[in-house]
Structure 1
Amino acid sequence: MANCPANRPIRTVGNPAKLAIGVYPDPPVVVGFAGDGNGGGHGTAGPQIGRGRGILWLKLEQENPFGSIKDRVAYSLLSSIFESGVLCRGIIESTSGNLGVALARYAQICGVEFTAVVDPRTSRKLVRQMRSADAKIVEVAEPDETGGYLLSRLAYIRDRMAAEDLLVWPNQYENPANPRAHSEGTAPEIFSTVPHGELDVFLGVSTGGTVRGFTDYVERNRLSWRCVAVDEVGSVALGGPPATRSLNGIGASRSSSFVDGRACLNVKVTAAEAVAACDWPGVCSGCPVIH
């Protein structure tokens, strides 16, 4: 932080363990998030989603205890299980990485066995973190019909659930505890920190829980926010034809149970556009915020 140029400051606000927001005054019109929602109009060719020049606020969720926004989802999912009183010998969940790390840590704290179902694209670093928290790792290597692995991971979980008593699947893809983590946590934190008024909120899509949680909060409080779902080209989370994808942790091989792509403002980006968008704050400020 100390080396940031004075004319392009980054400020952290609130409790660093819970809330950190990078602020970039007067960024250019958003270029990396242009598209028609169906994989077309990338770069500067498609319609612009941004309202123009302004301030870009980045929610730095790596400041959470276990390193990502999935800490919130993991806590909410496990709370929903324990509060229900269901008998639980162990927990199993499909994960592309970050949720598995958070679930592994919370399960370790609670003394519950956790099995993470991953695939070959899962970061080896994150797999090591899960194992360090005593998680059992199952890697599903057979691609599904869309070219991804999600449907294959889910099929494995369903087989295990049918065969083993007292094994609990939180099911991040359909459990309302997923969006609730954001409607009761992430969104209110942002509202309490940024200036009130119009705000475009760009939210990555995988299960769709983040978008649904923010949308619920915005509608309930009648805010002048526009929630924009950001998906990867080739993902079917918001609809559209499947195609090979290279990014991990965004997009999905199945439609979201929480968000209808036809009913929400959304854009699809390529892997190159996503990487460029992550590099942009560091290029402009001299102080990269993506680790």
Structure 2
Amino acid sequence: MPVISTPHAFNESRLYVDLRSIFGRSLYLKCEGFNFAGSIKLKAAIEMVETAERRGVLTPDSILVESSSGNLGVALSMIAASKGYRFLCVTDSRCNLSARLLMEALGSQVHIISDLDPTRGFLGARIDYVRALCDSDDRYVWLSQYTNPGNWRAHYRRTGPEIARQFPRLDVLFIGAGTTGTLMGCARYFREWHRPVRIVAVDSAGSVTFGGKPGRRMIPGLGMSIRPPLLDESYVDEVIRVEEAETIRACHRLARRGFLFGGSTGTVVSGAMDWLDRHRTPGLTAVAIAPDLGERYLDTIYQTAWLQDLYGDHILDFDEVTADSL
């Protein structure tokens, strides 16, 4: 039994769910939501904070500030509370209410941007606000998850090796693309591994991460309205874009089997299953990363009125697919 004295000292990394019985395809889902921050963002948060501490950037008078759609904000709130820092999260109206309440419960301030930048969306407006704060007061320290190498380094050091230990014969890895920290860290790790691994990035339709025209995105987590500065496409073998309707259906299919996951996970699972349906290779070992659990989405993707208002009355009209039906 682990005994800890700081909340970020616990992060269960060995739990996988085999999705064959639910979707009819063998896919091992790495569950990253079992820590006190509730998501994979804890890894990047602690790496960036402790690097800033070692370099003397953070002092007792510092005020941490970060732009986040939710999960990184919660992780930084937890770490700031544990270490005695003040923290301000700059988010927007798409951030789940539960994530905002969690941050405030941990003692953080939350500023909500309501007006989006005409060309760079909510993210551009959030970044502009953070930069203005930093220019106005040198106590503000912006870790900048979008450009900070600690974001991808956390997954090069931890997430990639964790997967490699469990699956020494891994063939394909599906990773959601947001800031691309998880994607770049794992891709760099497996590029240096003893056997080739196909890296498949899963993005939200309407995101401009890998180019294309921006579109409406209502589910926070994956996707970007600007090209991520951390992204190096030479490490990515393939990109799959998933419509939000398919994200929602994947989440509800998992929930009907007792697994309540977040929107990012629904996107990754939907994209992975589409890829596996098109590549029916016998004996393939496939892993996907589930960034978070579903409790923070109860008032959005698991709330019928919210779904119907945004996606229509028939959003959940789909045929269940199981191993027995194939």
Partner residue of 2:222?
A: 250
Residue 146 of structure 1: how far off its partner (Å) = 4.0
Matched, 1:181 2:176: no
Q: Which residue of structure 2 lines up, in the alignment, with residue 62 of structure 1?
A: 33
For 1:260 and 1:235, the matched residues in 2 are separated by: 16
Partner residue of 2:122 out of 137, 146, 149: 149
For residues 263 and 241 of structure 1, what CA distance do their matches in structure 2 show?
A: 23
Could you tell me how far 1:225 is from its partner in structure 2? 1.4
Q: For residues 157 and 147 of structure 1, do their structure 2 counterparts lie closer, same or farther at Cα, with a shift above 3 Å needed? A: closer
* In 2, Cα distance between equivalents of 1:206 and 1:129: 21
Task: Report the AA paired with residue 155 of structure 1.
Answer: D
Note the C-alpha offset of 1:67. Answer: 0.5
Query: Does residue 123 of the first structure (1) align with residue 96 of the second (2)?
Result: yes
1:189 alignment partner, SS class: helix
- Give the letter for the 1:182 counterpart: H
What do the CA deviations read for 1:210-230 (whole angstroms, capped 9, x no partner)? 110011101122432111111
Q: 1:23 aligns with which of 2, 13, 18?
A: 18
CA contact (8 A) 1:147 1:244 kept: no
Distance 1:282 1:200, change over 3 A: farther
Whether the 8 Å contact between 1:146 and 1:242 is mirrored in structure 2 is no
Deviates more, 1:75-84 or 1:217-226: 217-226
Q: How far 1:258 moved relative to its partner?
A: 1.9
Amino acid at match of 2:17: G
Cross-structure match for 1:80: 51
> C-alpha separation between the residues in 2 aligned to 1:18 and 1:133?
24
On the 8 A contact 1:26/1:56 being kept in 2, the answer is: no
Q: SS state of the match for residue 168, structure 1? A: strand
- Percent of aligned pairs sharing the same letter: 32
2:152–2:183: 8 Å Cα contact kept in structure 1?
Answer: yes
Partner secondary structure for residue 33 of structure 2: helix
Aligned to 1:272: 245
User: C-alpha displacement at 1:287, in angstroms?
Assistant: 3.5
Partner amino acid, structure 2, of 1:21: Y
Q: Secondary structure at the match of 1:178?
A: helix
1:279 positional shift: 3.5
Asked if residue 159 in structure 1 is aligned to residue 132 in structure 2, the reply is yes
Letter in 2 for 1:237: T
Q: Judging changes above 3 Å, is the alpha-carbon distance between structure 1 residues 200 and 206 closer, same or farther for their aligned structure 2 residues?
A: same
* Superposed displacement of residue 66, structure 1: 1.4
Contact 2:52 2:58 in 1 (8 A): no
CA positional deviation for 1:209 = 0.8
Q: Which has the higher helix share?
A: 2
Q: Partners in 2 of 1:91 and 1:236 — Cα distance?
A: 28
Query: What is the TM-score with the length of structure 2 in the denominator?
Result: 0.72
* Structure 2, gaps ≥5 residues long: 1-9, 262-293, 295-326
TM-score (normalised: structure 1) = 0.80
User: What is residue 264 of structure 2 aligned with on the other side?
Assistant: none
Q: Distance in 2 between matches of 1:164 and 1:266?
A: 41
Aligned CA RMSD, in angstroms, stands at: 2.0
1:138–1:198 CA distance, 2 compared to 1 (3 A): same
TM superposition shift of 1:60: 1.0
1:27 deviation in Å?
7.0
2:276 corresponds in structure 1 to none
Matches within 5 A, 1:91-240: 91-146=64-119, 148-194=121-167, 196-240=168-212
Q: CA deviation at 1:190?
A: 1.1
Aligned residues: 250
Q: Which residue of 1 aligns with 2:316?
A: none
Q: Distance in 1 between matches of 2:247 and 2:235?
A: 23
Which residue of 2 is the match for residue 288 of structure 1? 259
Sort the Cα spacing of 1:78 and 1:224 in 2 relative to 1 into closer, same or farther, 3 A. same
